[in-house]
Amino acid sequence: MILRLFVQTIAWVASIAALLFLSAGTTRWAGAWIFLAILAGLGIAIGLWLARYNPALLTERMGSVVQRGQKAWDRVFMGAMLVLFNAWLSFMAADAKRFEWSHVPVFAHWIGALLIVASLLGAAVIFRENSFASPVVKVQRERGQSIVTTGPYAVVRHPLYACGILYFIGVPLLLGSLWGLAALPLLILLLAIRTLGEEKMLSKEFPEYADYAARVRSRFFPGIW
């Protein structure tokens, strides 16, 4: 499992590096190197922690974006999201370095880096609380899935998506693409659509979910939505 973690993480980061640097037309890009270092460093660190404390969740998290038992609509969603995410990265690289359509102040680069780190560390906290945090929408009956209501889930119903929003804000800032932030409303909308579909499934499969949703009314951020 550890070998697979290293190989899979390195391959994933290398593919992002190729996409960024080919789109940028240069490797002289500090923001991209910092971004890749954060992804590789925290990705491996969190993976090693999971390998020790929750190997079943690590196995789940390292699975494909298309899995057995995954809802059909989520397969379509994940495929579209993967294409959109790669196009987003490519566009930001072209914006920040190849054509320099927009510029980000130095302090904003560091804010972006902090947001990315916060989102990944926040995800680790969520993984500690929720052993069923699969990357795809499915019911994990073989693992005894239940509704998690403690920790971050006592505050919002989908804290992992909240971390994702921080990530979506941080990446354009760190890479230096203000135009990359223009995709934020679309990305949040897509997360919201997936959230509604996931909640429909949870309400159908777990009768107690309705009571939980009545107690914890916010989905992403308290008092907002």
- Start-to-end C-alpha separation, the chain: 38
Using pLDDT thresholds of 50, 70 and 90, give the confidence band for residue 66.
confident
Q: What is the mean pLDDT of residues 15-42?
A: 98
**Phi, psi dihedrals of residue 152, rounded to the nearest 5°:** -60, -25
* Dihedral, CA of residue 145, residue 202, residue 71 and residue 128, to nearest 10: -40
To the question of pTM greater than 0.85 for the whole model, the response is yes
DSSP 107-148: HHHHHHHHHHHHHHHHHHHHHHH-TT--SS----GGGT----
Question: CA dihedral in degrees (21, 24, 27, 33; nearest 10)?
Answer: -70
Q: Are 157 and 213 in contact (CB under 8 A)?
A: yes
> What are the start-end ranges of the H helices in the chain?
2-24, 30-53, 55-61, 72-93, 106-129, 159-175, 184-205, 209-215
Q: Which residue has the higher pLDDT, 174 or 143?
A: 174
Mean pLDDT along residues 152-181: 97
pLDDT in the model for residue 143: 84
